[in-house]
Amino acid sequence: MRILIDIKPEVHQELSRQAAASGVEIGDYAASLLELAAHVPAELTEFSETTLAQTLQELAQFSHKIPLLPDEAFSRESLYRDHN
């Protein structure tokens, strides 16, 4: 989609500077800022079942090293002992 907007010369100059610093064209840079402002991801990543299983396996790889804590460690009194 193409959008035509009028911006102040100093805004154009700053966008141009930031785009050059990022190594991209000013139009692409401005589009990425609009996408960010609209909270729309530039591209969506889909996980296949295999990728998801591999990612979960990597997360669990060192779980056996996590120490077991007693149930008392998760009591309200234990969590808020420094607060009223």
**How is residue 6 annotated by DSSP?**
-
pLDDT tens, residue by residue, 32-45:
898 888 875 656 56
List Cβ neighbours of 42 (8 Å cut-off, separation of 6 or more).
Answer: 32, 35
Task: Give 30: exposed, middle or buried? Use CB within 10 Å, 0-12, 13-18, 19+.
Answer: buried
CB 65, CB 59: distance < 8 Å: no
Give the pLDDT of the chain (84 residues) as one tens digit per residue: 888 999 999 999 999 999 999 899 999 999 989 888 887 565 656 668 888 888 889 888 888 888 888 988 888 888 888 776
